[in-house]
A and B are shown apart, each in its own frame.
Chain A
């Protein structure tokens, strides 16, 4: 069964550094998402992406964050200047359509640790 893959599985970075989290969505999916889960807290929506542009973003997704689909397969999340509070598990997801009934397929996540 096709799956969403994320790399790396664990990223450690120093505060103030830039970090790029990478995702390869399922090949025939059109909608892409990033979520994050701070340890012990809810899974939170960050951003959705369709047709090479952001469809929706949450309050968390401020100017420090950006997303890109640099080629036909990768979908990246960049954090420009990391803060301690950015430490979390980041999940990429994709879906075939943007409808509310279209299930999201999630990757295994990247654990980001900011020191």
Chain B
């Protein structure tokens, strides 16, 4: 079945360092891909998304490009801040369901990022 694999954490960086969190997926169809972020004590928030191959999602300085040839959707940021400390989840949504919801998400395990000043 469909699945998402992301790099194990935790990841610890100094402020202004470059961030990459790897994410690869397996899917039978043509999924949409998402990155969600969970700040301490809060719920999951959509960070960015891409709906087809070669699309680039971006938000708050984060970027990820939908690479069909490598089935990847790696998250990058050029210069992290302490406020970026959170858990980051890669997820996919594929066509499924029985005439109803087709927006069910399959998540990776999450990668905890800690940014030190």
Contact = CB atoms under 8 A, between A and B. Distances in A.
Contacts of A43: 44, 89, 91, 105, 107, 110
Given A45-B106, A100-B31, A108-B41, A33 B101 contact: yes
B97 to A, nearest CB: 5
A25 interface: no
Interface in A54-95: 55-56, 91, 93, 95
A33 to B, nearest CB: 7
Given A100-B31, A100-B94, A56 B46 contact: no
Interface residues of A, number: 33
A53 B101 CA distance: 11
B81 interface: no
Nearest to A49: B101
B8 to A, nearest CB: 11
A56 B46 CA distance: 22
When A and B form their complex, which 7 residue pairs have the shortest distance between CB atoms, in order from nearest? A55-B100, A48-B101, A55-B101, A106-B44, A43-B107, A98-B101, A106-B43
Interface of B: 31-32, 34, 36, 41-46, 49, 51, 89, 91, 93-110
Given A43-B110, A106-B44, 12 more contacts: A31-B100, A41-B109, A50-B101, A55-B97, A55-B100, A98-B100, A100-B94, A100-B95, A105-B46, A106-B45, A108-B42, A109-B43
